[in-house]
Structures are given as C-alpha cells and as structure tokens.
Amino acid sequence: MEEKIKRTRRTAEEARRVILDAAERRLADLGPEGIRLQDIASDVGISHPTILHHFESREGLVLALTERTREQLRQDLFAAFSGPSARDADIHQIMARVFEILSKRGHARLTGWMILSGAISQTPDRGMLRDLTDLIHPKRAEEFRLRGLPVPSREDTLFVVMLGAVTAFGDGLFGPVVRQAAGITDEVKTMEQFRDWFAELLRSRMIPPAQ
Amino acid sequence: MEEKIKRTRRTAEEARRVILDAAERRLADLGPEGIRLQDIASDVGISHPTILHHFESREGLVLALTERTREQLRQDLFAAFSGPSARDADIHQIMARVFEILSKRGHARLTGWMILSGAISQTPDRGMLRDLTDLIHPKRAEEFRLRGLPVPSREDTLFVVMLGAVTAFGDGLFGPVVRQAAGITDEVKTMEQFRDWFAELLRSRMIPPAQ
DNA sequence: CACACTACTATCAAAATTGTAGATAGTCAA
DNA sequence: TTGACTATCTACAATTTTGATAGTAGTGTG
C-alpha cells in the first residue's frame, strides 16, 4: 500500500527565497562546510534536486546568494543613512545600526565567506561605498562651508566611510576573537562600549572642529 | 621492468612543516575549498596518506595549521612592536608592518577562514592583544605623565589596540572588496594612502595633545 | 473538464574525498 | 653489516556530494 505524499508547491520565486534563506542561515551559523545541497534541502523540507532545478547547480546557488546578500546589504545601509529616521539621528545611532546589520544578521560572516570562496568577484559590483560617500560628502562639506572653515576633500570623507566599512565588517567577523585575545570577559558590554568609542572617534573626524 | 622510485625522506618535523606550508598557501589563495588532502599532497610532491600519517586526520591538519598561524602572528606582531627596530620607529612604520603581516602573508584571510570554519575556537587563546596592550600602555601613560597631562585609562589604550587589530584584519580580508565598492581604480596606491591616513588617525589618538 | 506547464520527487550515476592496510625504502644505531 | 624504526608508497574501501533522468502531482487557462 502506497502512501500518498503531500507536496507543497510554491511559486518559483517563493521557492528560491526559502532555499536562499536556508542556505544563508547554514552558512552564517556553520561556516564554509555548511552549504550542502542535501542539508539545505532537508532544512526546507524538500528534496535536493529541487534546489538544482531552481539554481542549475551548486555554484548557481552560491552566486544567487552572493548577489542577494549584496543587494540586501546595500538597501539596509542606504536605509540607515538616508531613511526618514536618519534625518536627525547622530552618528552613534547610525554606526550602532551599521554594526548591528553586519553582525546580528551575519552579513559580515557571509561576506567574508564569499570573498574567501571567490564568489564575490563573479558578481556585479555596484559601487556601494562610492554612492554612500556621494550621499554624505555634500552634507559634510556644507557644514564646514557654513562655518567658513576649509572644506575637507571628498577623499577624506571617502576614507572615513572606508574606515567605517572595514571596521564594521572586521568587527562582525573578527570581533569576537579580537575581544577574546584582548582578555575581555564581558563580551556584550565591551562590544557596545567599543562601538560607542569608535563612533565617537568617527564623529570627531567628521564634524567641523569646535569654533 | 620495474622503475625504482626515489623517495625523499624528511624528518617528521620537516615533513609537517612543508605540509603546513602548502596547506597555508592553498587556503590563503584558493579559499575554503582549497584544503584538499590530494591537492596539498601533490603540491608537496607526496602521496596523501602521508599527510594523514603526520596529522592523524584532515581535522588534525586544520587544527595544527590554526595553531601555527596564531603563534606566527603573535611572534610577528611582538617583533613589530618590541623588536630593536621598533624602538624609535613611529606608528606609521609599525602600522605599515602590521598591515603587511596581515595582508601580504595572508594571515587575515587564514584567520577569517579559521573563524568561519570554527577551528579557531578549538585552539588555545593566549591573550595576544591583552599582552600587547600591557606592552604599549605603560609607555603611553609615561608620555602623558611627563607632560603633566591626565593619564589615559588602560581601557582607552586597549580600544586603540582593538581598533588597530579589527581594522588591520578587516583590511586584510575585506579591503579589496571595500576599495572596489568605493569605486577606487588604483588599488595599490589608495591602499597605501588609506593605511597612512589611518595610522595618522591612530597616532593622533595615542600621543599627548600638542602643548 | 482537459490540457499545458512546471515545481517537485525517487532513483541512479559519477566523481571526489577521507581514511585504511599492508608493503617498501631511507636512516640511524648497535 | 644488520636490524629496528618509521616516513612514505600503492591500492583499495567507504562515504559523501553533485548532478542527470524520468516520472508525478499541483495549478492555472482554454
């Protein structure tokens, strides 16, 4: 006697989404070895050939995940910097949000893995930080201009942005190990203190000097 | 007619060394998928069971590599900060050396991979940055004391060290992608400029304010 | 209702990878 | 020289993993 098996049939788009979600979770949690078709499939509750059906190959899955992660990151970052709530938020809040995006959501780890595995170089680059700099620099220049101070170069703003990026990514991936090597006992508390300290450092570079 | 095959027989120590060298190179160059016993073996010019003979298992190899990398990093960093040449080198030269250690030798990439794969948490931690802070902080405090200025807390020095570490690691792994996202064309030149700019930022935090 | 479309499954094939077993050959010490 | 030791090899086994094939079952449209 044969069992009638219930199939849940999703739209192709929905199927791709849940598969990518599962792959993302596995990769962020379990590291480089975590992206096995069978495991991902069983997480979703489907058979592994279904993944191949939607993504052609394992590599196709990886590339799709890379692209989606990049795009999400771009959107999250721009939301943090140009959303309505960012209008009068100070840099502490914004940096807190950036760090949160990169560490809590595991984006730093994901990106690190993608860089190491070479997937990221096969995916289109959209000049995220260039655009971010172009968003920030005019405002910053204006602040200086209003006070009659020498306007900092765009390159200076770019370097501040790059430092923010490198540090936020670096903290997301290397942070825990660095804090351990620093002999820190209260991870969570120190993490927040460090981020605040760093945000203050960035702020003192960004704003015009006190008159 | 049988060919007499020449075997090169190394001491166990030497064999372990060349195997770890090859594994390190593959991992830094090729990423997570680069650590395959057969490939490493053929790089060295041996058969893959020889690797198993020396390291018990693939995992044993990974752990041995993790430990060695950590120890090398520790030694390199301490050499940069307390070696004879570091006596009157300024922070620009020291940071340049730190960045070089982490990027050129691929240590940042290696460490990133080890974190992602979970290997690093199975290896002893020696509080490298804590020790580094204890090496630096007294000197720094003395500089302030001599000038009759309020002495910064050890925590402040620790944060500067942590920022240096996070940024140097972050740059070693994420740097190229960040620079690409920043729309930078001349990678090498910008990299140097950024590092100098960052070293100057660190210096301005570290030294006593101008009288 | 009938039919086309396609998301999905079971099963198989092929390749790669780690690990085992037993034989072989350098090396050193007695 | 002889013998013990062990670094290294060849050959094989077991497992895992990606991918191919062909058929099944929801879903929407004429």
Find how far residue B135's CA is from the centre of its chain.
19
Which amino acid is located at A201 in the chain? L
- Residue from the list A32, A133, A177 with its beta carbon closest to the beta carbon of B32: A32
State the distance between the two ends of chain A, measured CA to CA, in whole angstroms. 86
Band of pLDDT at residue B2, cut at 50, 70 and 90: very low
Chain B positions in Cβ-Cβ contact with residue A158 (cut-off 8 Å): 182
pLDDT at residue A96, rounded to an integer = 86
Residue B77: partners with Cβ closer than 8 Å, 6 or more residues away = B98, B101, B128, B132
Q: What is the DSSP letter of B45?
A: T
Nearest chain B Cα distance for residue A33, angstroms: 7
Closest Cα partner for B115 from A138, A68, A81, A171? A171
| Beta carbons of A99 and A18 less than 8 angstroms apart | no
Mean pLDDT of A40-49: 96
| Beta carbons of A192 and A200 less than 8 angstroms apart | no
Interface size, chain A vs chain B, as Cβ–Cβ contacts under 8 Å: 148
Closest Cα partner for B157 from B185, B184, B135, B187? B135
pLDDT at residue A69, rounded to an integer = 93
Tokens of A149: 């101070």
- Residue from the list A117, A182, A197 with its beta carbon closest to the beta carbon of B32: A117
Closest Cα partner for A165 from B113, B171, B165, B100? B171
**pLDDT tens digits, residue range B129-162?**
999 999 989 989 998 999 999 999 999 999 999 9
Which amino acid is located at A76 in the chain? D
| Beta carbons of A32 and B117 less than 8 angstroms apart | yes
pLDDT at residue B109, rounded to an integer = 93
Alpha helices in B47-206 (DSSP H): 48-55, 58-82, 91-104, 107-117, 128-146, 154-181, 187-206
Min mean pLDDT across A15-24, A102-111, B139-148 is at A102-111
Tokens of A158: 């770019």
Band of pLDDT at residue A97, cut at 50, 70 and 90: confident
Question: Would you call A112 and B112 a contact, using CB atoms and an 8 Å cutoff?
Answer: yes
* B24-53 residues near strand C (Cβ < 7 Å): 35-39, 48-49, 52
Tokens of B175: 């740097």
Q: What is the residue-wise DSSP string for B179-210?
A: HHHTT-S-HHHHHHHHHHHHHHHHHHHHSPPP
H or E element in which residue A38 lies: helix A37-44
Which amino acid is located at B69 in the chain? T
Band of pLDDT at residue B1, cut at 50, 70 and 90: very low
Question: Would you call B167 and A163 a contact, using CB atoms and an 8 Å cutoff?
Answer: yes
- Residue from the list B118, B129, B178 with its beta carbon closest to the beta carbon of A129: B178
pLDDT at residue B144, rounded to an integer = 92
Min mean pLDDT across A49-63, A114-128, B51-65, B77-91 is at B77-91
On chain C, which bases lie within 7 A of the protein's CB atoms? 6-11, 16-22, 25-27
Buried b (16+ CB within 10 A) or exposed e, B173-185: bbbbbbbbbbbbe
Chain B positions in Cβ-Cβ contact with residue A179 (cut-off 8 Å): 162
Q: What is the DSSP letter of A181?
A: H
Band of pLDDT at residue A1, cut at 50, 70 and 90: very low
pLDDT at residue B80, rounded to an integer = 86
Is the Cβ atom of B5 within 7 Å of strand C at any atom? yes
Is the Cβ atom of B4 within 7 Å of strand C at any atom? yes
